[in-house]
Chains A and B, each alone.
Chain A
């Protein structure tokens, strides 16, 4: 995973972007697996979909945005995902319906850990892109709290929606970060073209 930096600055940024993209891709795979495990655990038929409004609310990631703005929105979405996941894990532990699904429980922890890594990696990119990034406290979105009024099914559906959001946003992150990578020919990449680039390390 470790990239080889030839120069400080753009070269290291590129390798960080590549690393974040790879991390996002791996995380998307883990989220897909988590979603699948949950579906099996709850015997939700595969053809069933979850509707309703998105639990994660960020402005659309338009191609007109600058790479830094795009990263900001992505970072915000991933942060909301992490909050949702933490709440889902907390709710499930509180209900305590038996930890007889070891693989599912482990997968939740894996996703949580890797999501943390991806957030940290994305934050580093923001620092690089904006000079010194000034972070405001994480938004406390009361709307993402469990809305179920004690209904077991509402909790399950809420968790199912969270896992769907995770799957969606990690895929978005993977695609976005790949696009921001110099090989993706993004505006930022074009801006830094001509500078010596570090050797890219692919997973």
Chain B
């Protein structure tokens, strides 16, 4: 009951308010639509207030879209009030009803009569339509699209691009959707498609979403010193294309594209860029002299071309350049390099190119700028090609390599292109004898780079010149060494030199008579004839060099010789031997044979040919094969039979080989070196050199094959060596169960004691790691570590216990023992075996055996050194 009373009271007050107001309602309300701008202009008369209530409804569904109090002042001239409203929805979408009343504080007038802005969804507009159509808006805009379906047609869906969007019903035939923050369109615009319930397109609209123009970098310059050429960057993409929406430019009020030319230099320029979304202005200002960018030189020519220089000229398109101080770059390119020189001058149109190479093709091009107030380089000219004239060649680099005291070869290096100065047509070699004042000249074709000569006392100097069509080079001379001071130079035996990864470092003591410097030559040591000899020259004030060549190979011994040169003589100073990388020997010890007299056995074998050594031979290891066991007899020091290359070693001792029918002795080249190099006896290398042409023993001993099998099979295979596998040098077997063998002396009939000075027993020399004396020639070989300790460990110091020699372990043997647990012979050469008719000294791993072995070594040493 109280609430009913309150309601009646409020209603009474409202009626009182309305009736009590003296405000007249607005008259002659009129609606004017700007459909493009979606603006509605409402005008009315007779409203004496300055504020009004405006109510806008969608006529058909009577939905309020606007209801607010607005301020609308009276236009004094017309006496009318005006008010603008921007509709978020296109005005065509549906009819709108508008009414207005005056307000003065709380006083309001009656509502005006309702005015209707008819939409295009009225029944007499039967066609389907969509609004807005073809509008251009900025990126990020919000827009409402409406679809008016055909009379009698059923609305289906709205798609923005190909995305289904949610719609709102505005009237019986009108459906709308609002898109927010729209992204840039593709070139033909973004489609909004309205379809019926059968997915058939009813209608649609296109919206073009993009940006206003924003060009940048307006720059104006002159090329002809009179007119203006202005350019700018387009800047941000507008995403608006087509005749109606693209960006248009004007420069100082003249239509232009992306580049504009003006006939006169104004000094100030304004670029205006416009499209449907807005305009953008850019300005530039400069004096003419500060914006000179010369055109590209034309008609390049070479008035004069010589061997070492040439002149290049060109023309300018504009006469005004004659008074213009120019700075020009001339870029010249030949097959080998490219360089740029800078020249200056008023109206510069010719330059001289210096430091050219004879008989060389060049390409040149030119560009210029204004030297005063430099602005920018002009465009490069078209390139011009020319070829310099030939000149006589430089003197060739020659050397004389002596094959022997009387035979030698004159060698010279081919001239490079930069040395030839033209196609070499041949060489001339002249042998001189100043004493007899005679000479002999030979002409050789361009393909020859050496000449064998018989060096007699008559000739003392050789001269070589090179010839090309332009002339003959200066002569290159070398003095023929009359007597080589020992084949190995002044120091006797060659030193070894170690490859350090990039080359062989050589150093020497300065020689007084090296006025024209030093020459280092090198060759493959095992080469015997027509050897490839290379050389390098070292300045007189240097006493070291790094010998580098692309012709160095692993496992090949090279001999390096140092000569001092002067105008009077060529003197051999020093020699070195070296390997780029040492490898294990590539073959077995040849011709291993026993020579037995009574209980003594003397083993002899040949040197391994030098080319098969592939590293410095440091010693030999002798094994005894007995049934399934390989027993190290030690590292006896071999003796060399002078002039024969034969090696021998003698053994004394007792050996229990029962029940083996044979004893087989294996000789293994040992590339392992002890720390005390001096204690080892090796074949002097100068002696080895003479063995290169020895008959190669190409047959691998049968017992070697067996030996390898034992090694490979390891501890699981304790195969017994077969007598039938023994080498041809075997002397058969004695099927004795137990035989004592005692060596009582060296068979002097077969062995010489000549190299005794070198002989020092070294039974423990078979180690991977050496002491500090010898440095291995190896790349990066590492020795396998063998933590096992076998019975012979007390004779074989552990791997790595000393750091001298590091053998190259390309051939590895875990152990010659069948069980693999004994010898740390990780790096050995190939073994050679021989079967003995007698049993040799056993190798005893017991302390007793050690003592025995030691005493045998002592005896052996004493015997060889003549001690009692």
Show the binding face of A for B, using Cβ within 8 Å. 41-45, 47-51, 94-98, 100-101, 150-153, 156-157, 160
Contact = CB atoms under 8 A, between A and B. Distances in A.
Interface in B193-222: 193, 195, 198-206
B242 A50 contact: no
Given A45-B159, A45-B162, A49-B201, A156 B243 contact: no
Interface in B145-193: 159, 161-162, 186-189, 191, 193
Give the top 4 A-B pairs by smallest Cβ distance, nearest first: A98-B187, A98-B241, A152-B206, A153-B204
Nearest to B206: A152
A95 B202 CA distance: 23
12 contacts: A41-B186, A42-B191, A44-B201, A45-B159, A48-B193, A97-B188, A150-B134, A151-B133, A152-B133, A153-B191, A153-B204, A160-B201
B130 interface: yes
A95 B243 contact: yes
Contacts of A49: 198-201
A156 B191 contact: yes
A96 B162 contact: no
Contact of A44 (B191, B200, B241): B191
Contacts of B203: 153
Given A96-B243, A97-B189, A97-B241, A153 B206 contact: yes
Contacts of B191: 42-44, 153, 156
B199 A47 contact: yes
B666 to A, nearest CB: 80
A43 B206 CA distance: 12
A41 B200 contact: no
Contact of B188 (A42, A51, A150): A42
Contacts of A47: 199
A48 B156 CA distance: 11
Nearest to A160: B201
Contact of A51 (B130, B134, B201, B242): B201
B130 A153 contact: yes
A95 B242 contact: yes
A152 B191 CA distance: 9
Contacts of B243: 94-96
Contacts of B162: 43-45
A160 B204 CA distance: 13
A153 to B, nearest CB: 4
Contact of B189 (A50, A94, A152): A152
Interface of B: 130, 133-134, 159, 161-162, 186-189, 191, 193, 195, 198-206, 241-243
B198 to A, nearest CB: 8
A96 B246 CA distance: 10
Contacts of B133: 151-153
A48 B242 CA distance: 27
Contacts of A97: 187-189, 241-242
A153 B203 CA distance: 8
Contacts of A94: 243
A153 B162 CA distance: 15
B131 to A, nearest CB: 11
A48 B201 contact: yes
Contacts of B206: 151-153, 156
A48 B189 contact: no
B392 to A, nearest CB: 61
A98 B195 CA distance: 28
Contacts of A157: 201, 204
A101 B241 CA distance: 13
Instruction: Report which residue of B201, B202, B203 has the largest number of chain A beta carbons within 10 angstroms of its beta carbon.
Output: B201
Contacts of A42: 188, 191
Contact of A48 (B130, B186, B195, B205): B195
B185 to A, nearest CB: 10
Residue of A42, A47, A153, A157 most packed against chain B (CB within 10 A)? A153
Nearest to B160: A43
Contacts of B134: 150-153
Given A42-B188, A153-B205, A96 B195 contact: no
A152 B134 CA distance: 6
A50 B200 contact: yes
A41 B190 CA distance: 10
A98 B242 contact: yes
Given A97-B189, A153-B203, 8 more contacts: A44-B191, A49-B200, A49-B201, A96-B243, A97-B188, A153-B130, A153-B134, A156-B191
Contacts of A45: 159, 162, 193
Contacts of A43: 161-162, 186, 191
Contacts of B198: 49
Contact of B193 (A41, A44, A98, A100): A44
B201 A96 contact: no
A42 B187 CA distance: 10
A150 B243 CA distance: 13
A96 B193 CA distance: 22
Contacts of A50: 200-201
Nearest to A47: B199
Nearest to A150: B134
Contacts of A48: 159, 193, 195, 199-201
A41 B241 CA distance: 15
Contacts of A156: 188, 191, 204, 206
Nearest to A155: B206
A94 B133 CA distance: 19
Contacts of A95: 242-243
A35 to B, nearest CB: 14
Nearest to B204: A153
Nearest to A49: B200
Contacts of B241: 96-98, 100
B344 to A, nearest CB: 48
Contacts of B201: 44, 48-51, 157, 160
B583 to A, nearest CB: 64
Nearest to A149: B133
Contacts of B204: 153, 156-157
B247 to A, nearest CB: 12
Nearest to A101: B187
A49 B161 CA distance: 15
B258 to A, nearest CB: 16
A66 to B, nearest CB: 36
Nearest to B245: A97
A129 B49 CA distance: 88
Given A153-B204, A156-B206, A41 B188 contact: yes
A150 B133 CA distance: 10
Contacts of A152: 133-134, 188-189, 206
Nearest to A50: B201
A45 B186 CA distance: 16
Nearest to B135: A152
B94 to A, nearest CB: 20
A96 B242 contact: yes
Which of B159, B188, B191 counts the most A-chain CB atoms under 10 A from its CB? B188
A170 B594 CA distance: 102
Nearest to A39: B162
Contacts of A100: 187, 241
Nearest to B161: A43
Contacts of A160: 201
